[in-house]
Amino acid sequence: MVRLRNLLPVGLLILSGCSWAPSLGVHKIDINQGNHLTQDMVEKLKAGQTRQQVRAILGTPLLADIYHANRWDYVYEYRYQGKLVAHRNFSVHFADDKVARWEGDEQPISPALLNRQTQAANAAEKQGEASVVPAEPGFFSRLWDWLKF
């Protein structure tokens, strides 16, 4: 019995370090890595722009190596509780220090644009509700009218 009492804390200590036991309360932080690009940023790109203009629009590239000097790579990765949730690649190709083409994964919509679209939809919905006139009074309106002296 004494031996079992001594082995129990050692066993719990060993199990607390295992990654297969997530119920032990190990906190894993959310990690955003790389360049978070949005669709409206990509839409600002035009063929013939300089490297400085691209850097102003998209930011500094994550990968700009000497072996591919005419290509800038923008990589974004998001991990939630240790699991990969999003991974996007985007590349800009240059010819004579001007944008020749770009390619990559579809980028998410900008939060600002998403807010504007939501506000416009809510305003249209409110306007549609204001123009709706009930054809017949409801139950409580009829009850109120009946109770009036």
Radius of gyration for the alpha carbons in the chain, expressed in angstroms and rounded: 29
Tell me the pTM: 0.60
More confident residue, 31 or 25: 31
Q: For residue range 66-99, list pLDDT tens digits in order.
A: 888 899 999 999 998 888 999 999 999 999 999 9
More confident residue, 12 or 144: 144
pLDDT for position 127: 75
Return the domain boundaries, the chain: 25-103
φ/ψ (deg, to 5) at 87: -145, 120
Confidence of residue 133 (pLDDT cuts 50, 70, 90): low
More confident residue, 48 or 133: 48
Could you give the CA distance from residue 129 to residue 127 in angstroms, rounded to a whole number? 5
Cβ-Cβ contacts under 8 Å for 47 (sequence gap 6 or more) = 98, 99, 100, 101
Mean pLDDT along residues 22-42: 81
pLDDT for position 72: 93
User: What's the angle, vertex CA 119, arms to CA 114 and CA 125, rounded to 5?
Assistant: 125
**Spacing of C-alpha 67 from chain mean position:** 31
Tell me the three state secondary structure of residue 116: helix
Give bridge partners of residue 103 from the DSSP assignment.
Answer: 91
Q: Which two tokens stand for residue 7?
A: 């082995």
Query: What would the DSSP string read from start to end of 74-125?
Result: EEEEEEETTEEEEEEEEEEEEETTEEEEEEESPPPPPHHHHHHHHHHHHHHH
Could you give the CA distance from residue 81 to residue 104 in angstroms, rounded to a whole number? 26
**Cα atoms found within 13 Å of the Cα of residue 111, Cβ hemisphere only:** 2
**How many Cβ atoms are within 10 Å of 7's Cβ, its own excluded?**
10
